[in-house]
Amino acid sequence: MTKYLQHLTFGIILLLAYLPISYCAEAIVLGENMGIDRPVTLLRNMEVLLDPSNRLTIDDVQKPPFASAFIPHGVPRSHPTFTNGTVWVRFSLAREASATDDWVIQLYPTWLDEIRVYTGVYREARLVMVLGDQHPFSERALKTNLPAFPVSLGTTPQKYYLQIRTRGPMPLAFNVWREDSLEQRDMQHASVSLVLSGAAIVLIFVFLIFWGRIQDPIYAAAALLIGSAMLAAFALQGYGSSLCFPRHALWADRSVDIAICFFAASFGFSICRLVELRSHFARATRVLDGFAIFFAFIIPFVTLGLLDPLRWWLITLFGVLLAAINILLIRLIARLKKRKEQLVVAMFILVIIIGIFRLSILQGLVPAAPPYLERPILQYLQAAILMMVCIVAASRFFTIESQRRAERQKAYESMRIASQAVEDRSRQREFVKVISNEFRMPLVIANEISLELEDSLSGKDDRVRSSAMKIRQAIQRLVGLIENLLIDDALESGRGLRENDLFDMRGALVSVQNNCLPQDSERLDFNIPDAALIFRGSRSGVEILLWNIIQNALKYSSSKVKVNCRIERDQVILDIVNYGNPISKSEQGRLFDRYIRGAQSLGVPGSGLGLHISRSLALQHGGDVNLVSSDAGGTIFRISLPLEVGAEFVDKATGA
C-alpha cells in the first residue's frame, strides 16, 4: 500500500510538472519541398489567448489557468478582429530530417505595433526577437516588408509563443517559408511594384500634360486617382517602413493611415468625374464630394495621431463610401447606352468590390486572406486601376478629339461662309457706290431744273411752286440717303473720312442752314458765340454729322428747332432741341443702333442710319453724340467736339 502511494505521488508530481507545457496544439512538421512556391499556413495549428489587461508574462501563459485557456484559431471569438490590448499566440514547429534548418515565419497584418517572440518551456522560455511597427525597420533581422523572423528548426517539436500588441484591426495570419524562397519572392514582388510605380509616374506626367494643354479636369482627376492609389498600395505593402521611415517607426505606422485617408478623399472626388456621375446623380455626387472633403480634412489630425482610437470607424466609413459609389455605378450602367461606357463602369464596380472585400478583411468580417496573396492582390488592384484610368482617359481623349474635329469642320464651314459673306458684302458695296454715283448726277440735274422752274414765269403759280418744292424735298432726302449709305459703308470698312481740315465750326453751321429748304431754314434758331470755333478734321464729315441731327429734329417737330452752341473746357457743345413728341424710354437705349427707327417714325421718311452715322463721325473726331433728355419739355441731342486752341489756329482757319 505504501509502495502504491509512492508511485501515485510520483505520478502526480510528473503530471503537475508536465501540465504547464502540455497545453499545445499538434506540432507542424515541415517537409523538404514545403514553403517554396507557397507558404505553410499556421491558421489551423495555432492557438490564441486574449489578454485585455496587458499584464500577462511568458511565465503566466505557460502555467494554469492560462495555459489551458488558449483557444484554437478559427473558433468563434478565438481572437478579436479589433483590439487595443494584447493577444498571445502559441504554436509548435518541427522539420523532417531531410528538410533545411533555415525557415522564416511571416506575420500578417503589417501594422502590428509590437511582436515579442519567445521559445522554450516553462521557466526556460527566452525572448528571441522583437519586431513590429513600434520598432524601426532597420532593427529587423529580415528586411522584408511584411513582419517576419527567422527560425532554426530541428526534428524535435519546438514551441513558440508570440505576444502581439496593437491597436485597431487585427486579422491574424501566420505562414512559414523557406528563407531563400521568401527572399526570392520579395524580390519578384519588389520588381513588379517598381514596374507599376514607373508606369504610374509616367501616366501621371502624361495626364498632367494633357490637363495643361486640353484644360479638361478629367485628366487632373485621373492623375490624382493614380497617385493616391499608388501611394496607398505603397504604404499597405510596407514600403513606407522599409524605404521612407526605416528608423522612425511612429511615422511609418501613421503613413499607412495618411495614405488610406488620402486615397479615400481622391477616390471619392475622382470617380465622380471619371465616369461622369454628376450628370446623372447630381445630389448623390454632392454627398460623395462631402465624403471626400471629410477624409481630406482629417488628414492633418491623422498625421498628429489624434484619431488613432477612431481607426475602426474611419475604415468603416471608407467602406460605406465605397458601397455608396458602387450602388451609384450599378444604377449608372442601366442608364448608359454605349457598350464601351458600360464596360468601363463594370470594371470600376469590380475593383470597388475587391476593395470592399479588402476592408472586410481588415474589419474581421471575413477570414484573412493568405499573406502570400496580399501583395499580389494589391498589385492586381494597382494594375486594374491603371488600366481603367487609361481606358477612361483614352476614351475621353478620343471624344474630345472628335468634338474638336467637328468644331474645326464647323469653324472651317463658318470661315467659308464668312469669306463668302465678305465677298458678297464687298460686291454689295461696289454696287451701292456705283448706283449712288449713277443716281447723284440725275438728282443734281433734277434739283437744278426745279430751281429754274421756281424762278421761271410758271413758278409764279402756287401749284407749280408747291410741286417744285416737293421735288426739291424728295431730291434732298434721296441725296441725304445716298450720302449716308456711302459714309456708313466707309465707316464700316474702316476707311473713315481722311480729310484733316482746319476750319471754323460756325461756317459748317451756316453751310448746313443754307442747304436746308427755305421753310426748314426759317424754323431753325441758331445761338452761336462770336468767338471762332476752330476745329480740325473732316469738314464734310462734320457737316454730315450736323445735317443728320438737325434734319432729324426738323422731321419730328413742327415748331422751332433750337441750336445752342457754347464752349466748355476746350470743347464745343451743341444742343439741338426740338419740341415734338418725346422718345419712349424703351427706345432710348437703342436709338444710335444701325437701322433702328422708333414707333413715331411711321409715315416719316428715313433710313435709320442718321443717328448711327452721326455718333460714328463724332467718335472718329474725338467727340460724341448723346440724348440728354426727352420729355414733355422737349428732346435734346448734344454734340461735343474738341476744339483747336491757340491764336495761330484761328489765324490759319480764318485766313488772317
Q: Is there a domain that residue 434 lies in?
A: no
Span 456-480, average pLDDT = 67
Q: Tens digit of pLDDT for each residue in 404-425? A: 788 888 888 888 887 887 777 6
| 493, burial (CB in 10 Å: exposed 0-12, middle 13-18, buried 19+) | exposed
435 band by pLDDT with thresholds 50, 70 and 90: low
Q: What is the pLDDT of residue 117?
A: 92
Q: Are 70 and 47 in contact (CB under 8 A)?
A: yes
293-297 contacts, C-beta under 8 A, 24 or more apart: 293/265, 294/265, 295/261, 295/262, 295/264, 295/265, 295/268, 296/261, 296/262, 296/265
Q: Which amino acid is at 508?
A: A
Does 636 score more than 60 pLDDT?
Answer: yes
Q: Are residue 177 and residue 270 in the same domain, yes or no?
A: no
Q: Tens digit of pLDDT for each residue in 74-129? A: 655 444 555 667 889 999 999 998 888 889 988 877 777 788 999 987 777 888 88
**DSSP conformation class of 241:** I
Q: What is the pLDDT of residue 182?
A: 79
Q: Are 164 and 276 in contact (CB under 8 A)?
A: no
d(CA 647, CA 656): 10
Q: Are residue 238 and residue 376 in the same domain, yes or no?
A: yes
Q: Tens digit of pLDDT for each residue in 205-256? A: 888 888 888 777 888 888 888 888 888 877 777 666 666 776 776 777 778 7
Give percent of the chain with pLDDT exceeding 90.
1
Q: Are residue 135 and residue 74 in the same domain, yes or no?
A: yes
Q: What is the CATH number of the domain that holds 608?
A: 3.30.565.10
Q: What is the pLDDT of residue 215?
A: 78
Q: Which residue has the cell 503589417?
A: 110
Q: Are residue 396 and residue 288 in the same domain, yes or no?
A: yes
Q: What is the pLDDT of residue 617?
A: 83
Q: What is the pLDDT of residue 487?
A: 66
d(CA 55, CA 78): 19
Q: Are residue 117 and residue 238 in the same domain, yes or no?
A: no
Q: What is the pLDDT of residue 161?
A: 92
Q: Are residue 179 and residue 197 in the same domain, yes or no?
A: no
Q: Tens digit of pLDDT for each residue in 34-62? A: 888 888 888 778 888 888 888 888 888 88
Per DSSP, the residues of 36-60 read SSSPEE-TTT-EEEEETTS---HHH
Q: Are 440 and 482 in contact (CB under 8 A)?
A: yes
Q: Are residue 163 and residue 210 in the same domain, yes or no?
A: no
461 band by pLDDT with thresholds 50, 70 and 90: low
Q: Is there a domain that residue 486 lies in?
A: no
Q: Tens digit of pLDDT for each residue in 470-509? A: 676 666 666 666 666 666 666 666 665 666 778 888 888 8
Q: What is the pLDDT of residue 168?
A: 63
Domain end among 153, 183, 213: 183
Q: What is the pLDDT of residue 437?
A: 63
Q: Are residue 534 and residue 595 in the same domain, yes or no?
A: yes
Q: What is the pLDDT of residue 2?
A: 46
Q: Are residue 75 and residue 157 in the same domain, yes or no?
A: yes
Q: Are residue 123 and residue 256 in the same domain, yes or no?
A: no
Q: Is there a domain that residue 336 lies in?
A: yes
Q: Is there a domain that residue 464 lies in?
A: no
Tell me the backbone φ, ψ of residue 237, rounded to 5 degrees: -80, 0
Q: Which range, of 349-353, 358-362, 367-371, averages the lowest pLDDT?
A: 367-371
Span 8-32, average pLDDT = 53
Q: What is the pLDDT of residue 7?
A: 43
d(CA 609, CA 547): 13
Q: Is there a domain that residue 164 lies in?
A: yes
Tell me the backbone φ, ψ of residue 77, rounded to 5 degrees: 65, 25
Residue numbers of the domain that contains 510: 498-654
Q: What is the pLDDT of residue 14?
A: 38
Q: Is there a domain that residue 479 lies in?
A: no
d(CA 42, CA 91): 8
Q: Are 274 and 225 in contact (CB under 8 A)?
A: yes
Domain count, the chain: 3
Q: Is there a domain that residue 439 lies in?
A: no
Q: Are residue 265 and residue 401 in the same domain, yes or no?
A: yes
Q: What is the pLDDT of residue 380?
A: 73
Q: Are 146 and 82 in contact (CB under 8 A)?
A: no
CB atoms within 10 A of CB 138: 13
Does 392 score more than 80 pLDDT?
Answer: no
Q: Are residue 137 and residue 226 in the same domain, yes or no?
A: no
Of 231, 224, 147, which Cα lies nearest the Cα of 196?
231
d(CA 53, CA 163): 13
The helix (run of H) or strand (run of E) holding residue 168 is strand 168-169
Of 542, 503, 548, which Cα lies nearest the Cα of 641?
542
Task: Report the chain's mean pLDDT, rounded to a whole number.
Answer: 76
Q: What is the pLDDT of residue 6?
A: 44
More confident residue, 187 or 153: 153
More confident residue, 516 or 488: 516
More confident residue, 454 or 207: 207
Q: What is the CATH number of the domain that holds 170?
A: 2.60.40.2380
568 band by pLDDT with thresholds 50, 70 and 90: confident
Give the highest mean pLDDT range of 332-336, 440-444, 581-585: 581-585
Domain end among 150, 183, 216: 183
Does 135 score more than 60 pLDDT?
Answer: yes
Q: Is there a domain that residue 83 lies in?
A: yes
Q: What is the pLDDT of residue 12?
A: 41
Domain end among 376, 410, 444: 410
627 band by pLDDT with thresholds 50, 70 and 90: confident
